[in-house]
Amino acid sequence: MPYEPDEPFAVDEPVVSRLRPKQVVVRLAAERNRFLGALLHGDCPIFLDTNVLLWGFGLNEQASEVWQRWLWRLRERLVIPAWVVHEYNQLSDKAEILSPYKTLSRKLQVVLDELKASSARALDGAAAVSVGCTSKIDLERKLAEATNFIVNVAKSVSRNDSGHRMELLKFYENLLVEHALSSDVHELYRQARVEFDTRSAARLSPGGEDARKPQNSCGDFIIWKELLQHCAEIGAGEALFISNDVKEDWCYKPARIILDNGKEIAWSSEAAGNLRLPNPDLVAEFQRHTRGENIVFATVEQVVDALGSTDHNVIDAATYTYLAQAAQSSRTPTDRVVDWIQSSEALYTEGLRGVASWDRSPSEVDQEKFQEWCRDRLNDSDIPFDKVNWGNVFVALYL
């Protein structure tokens, strides 16, 4: 049995930068609200890591336009560390960045050819029947058809590599000029080298896992120092750092989470929405510099999930449909209805001019007829309509 004192410990005034243990159990709703508050509300500064900028080059044209609009709408909240600009400059003209899918079809063809040869050698007629084919000949025919389809899709993806990525390069150039910190990268590096080796040897976050990298080993540490300095200068006791780097020298997974229904379960990426918490030494350091402790880490996928969610951002959710689809965000049945209608200009316009039309007040719309119209138009989908919040569908699309 765990020790439980008879009397509660006395609690003094909060001690600035007190190092606390990792949380074993967290309430998912509380952490979600902290994240949503930092992302969607108030004036919390939002910092981007280099990998987030590079992530944008993989988007299709429609999604890229949405991504750019969101970044620009952040205005003064958006902060780009100078070291991020330095890292971006080393990578932004590389072929694998500007044309991330150029070799996709060739790589796939090699794998598919191997699958064809392997199945010919290893599978007999009985095995063909076990995977839903009538014979081995039928298996080979279906495999050839599937291969042609997959390769054609891959070639289409590869052809999508030009045009809009150059526009994104131009956009990023203006964005970085507007929002990059004015830190001296040479001085940043000089100071970092003095402290980094000792710090990483003591396993203090961040950057320890990069200590053996031959180049830019202290990049994460420099970015973190810029974040601290900027927040201290502007008096911000909160910050949102968006990065796809979820190494253990940045953040950790709590052992257990408490769901919205009160049930306590073991952490899982699906149940927790990939929730990770900043390491306690980072929180303490942030507290010491800013006298605040609301430092939030999120991946770009978590950000896109929230932006396109009818549960958390219903007024603007439809705006982010193309971005959410490209990022393969987790979509609720309500989100999927919004995506379906928003993605079809003809269907959206039909609703706008018909059943969802209103003049002075949205209360003029008959919500039952609106729901019937949606169900009829989306009848071929596999969306579970009984789990859809139809009021949120209307608000997201037509309010």
Domain boundaries, the chain: 25-98+163-298, 104-159, 306-398
Question: H helices of 92-130, where?
Answer: 95-98, 104-122, 125-130
Please give the full DSSP string across 289-357, using - where no structure is assigned: HHS--EEEEE-HHHHHHHHT-TTT-TTTGGGGHHHHHHTT----HHHHHHHHHHT-HHHHHHHHHTTT-
Residues 338-342: contacts with CB within 8 Å, 24+ apart?
338/310, 338/393, 338/396, 338/397, 340/378, 340/381, 340/383, 341/374, 341/377, 341/378, 341/393, 341/397, 342/318, 342/397
Q: Residue 209's pLDDT is what?
A: 66
pLDDT by position in tens, the chain (length 399): 444 444 443 444 554 568 899 999 999 999 999 999 999 988 999 999 999 999 999 899 999 999 999 999 999 999 999 999 999 999 988 887 878 888 888 889 899 999 999 999 999 999 999 999 999 999 999 999 999 999 998 888 887 766 788 899 999 999 999 999 999 999 999 998 888 888 887 888 886 666 667 677 788 999 999 999 999 999 999 999 999 888 788 899 999 999 999 999 998 878 887 888 999 999 999 999 999 989 999 999 999 999 999 998 998 989 999 998 888 777 889 999 999 999 899 999 999 999 999 998 999 999 999 999 999 999 988 899 999 999 999 999 998
- Judged on CB neighbours under 10 Å (0-12, 13-18, 19+), 278 is buried
3-state class (DSSP) for residue 203: coil
Residue 1 is predicted with a pLDDT of: 47
Q: What is the structure's pLDDT at 374?
A: 93
3-class DSSP state of 242: strand
Residue type, position 207, single letter: G
CA 135/CA 5 separation, integer angstroms? 72
Q: Give the pLDDT confidence score for residue 208 in this predicted structure.
A: 67
Q: How far apart are the first and last CA of the chain?
A: 55
On whether the CB atoms of residues 309 and 50 are closer than 8 A, the answer is no
Q: Copy the structure tokens of residue 296.
A: 């939030």
pTM of the model: 0.83
The CB density around residue 391, as the number of other CB atoms within 10 Å, is 15
Q: Which two tokens mark 5?
A: 């004192």
CB 325 within 8 A of CB 339: yes
Interatomic CA distance for residues 173 and 171, integer angstroms: 5
Element (H, E) at 27: strand 25-27
pLDDT value at residue 157: 84
pLDDT at site 6: 46
**Cβ neighbours for 289, distance < 8 A, ≥ 6 positions apart:** 228, 229, 231, 232
Structure confidence at residue 245 (pLDDT): 85
* Token pair for 112: 């598919």
Q: CA Rg, the chain, in Å?
A: 25
| Residue 79 contacts residue 46 (beta carbons within 8 Å) | yes
Supply the pLDDT for residue 183: 94
CA gap 315, 317 in Å, rounded:
6
* Pairing label, strands 46-48, 78-79: parallel
